[in-house]
Amino acid sequence: MFYAVGLGLCDEKDITIRGLEAVKRSTRVYLEAYTSILMVSKEKLEEFYGRPVILADREMVELQSDEILRDADKEDVSFLVVGDPFGATTHTDLLLRARALGIQTRVIHNASIMNAVGACGLQLYNFGQAVSLVFFTETWKPDSFYDHIRENADLGMHTLVLLDIKVKEQSEENLIRGRKIYEPPRYMSIPTAVSQLLDVEATRKQGVLAPDSTLAIALSRVGSQTDGEQRIVCGTLRELAVQESSIFGEPLHSLVIVGRRLHPLEVEFAEVFAVNKDNLRNVARTVYGCTLD
């Protein structure tokens, strides 16, 4: 059996009992290590699971899938994914490859940011399409995500923006020269994300994102059981842009663009996270048309 096992959001203890049972009976255990990260080391996982863990980077998953799936028709192999296995299309592709080889597959689900984002108080029913925001360069500023945010905004829906991480990435020069030299890991911050969003708005000029009247909620390390590690910060885009990076906590970060279908209970819940409670209520009332006491 080939198992795709969700690890949840934070540490070694977030795995489900069913997932842990699959890991313990697997001959090989891989940890997908580039679409997201856990808050603990591989060694911590190995200690808790009682099994050696093989780090699977992008190159291995995308180019060496045959090695990952080797003998999975004869023995159990586990592929560990931070969050839920269906959080990235890469994992779907791996499952399809397994099925094409006649290998039985089983997915063991877990919590992910897609549902844990509800910790900010916004109702999951009111979320539209999630989007990814990658690091811009001087020559590459992809903005297709903007269309999805606009479509969500037209329906009054919230948008979950997943911020880029760069793990085991090569510089253009090293990539061209074929040198296996990798850049230090980078994780997009909330100020960088807001800056890029407003940069695209300034180019598109469609009025989807406004610095002083678009509410947003920043989240980091959602689900952490360590006091003070999970951070949620709410404000307008401008308010978030000018905060010290330390207020947002350690990576990984996500950002929610608040849609106009905003319920008073959502505002009440978010007030505790607000940079400026009075301004939050004012924008919710005057811009979003939210009826507040």
CA 242 to chain centre: 23
Which residue's entry shows tokens 């089983």? Answer: 106
- How far apart CA 65 and CA 130 sit, in angstroms, is 27
Query: Tokens representing 26?
Result: 């697997």
Q: Which helix (H) or strand (E) holds 187?
A: strand 186-187
- How far apart CA 166 and CA 164 sit, in angstroms, is 7
Q: How many CB atoms lie within 10 A of CB 154?
A: 12
Q: Which helix (H) or strand (E) holds 188?
A: none
The binding site for S-adenosyl-L-methionine consists of 9, 84, 87, 112-113, 163, 222, 253
Q: Name beta bridge partners: 165.
A: 187
175: helix, strand or coil: helix
The binding site consists of 9, 84, 87, 112-113, 163, 222, 253
Q: What is the largest CA-CA distance in the chain?
A: 64
Q: Are 3 and 80 in contact (CB under 8 A)?
A: no
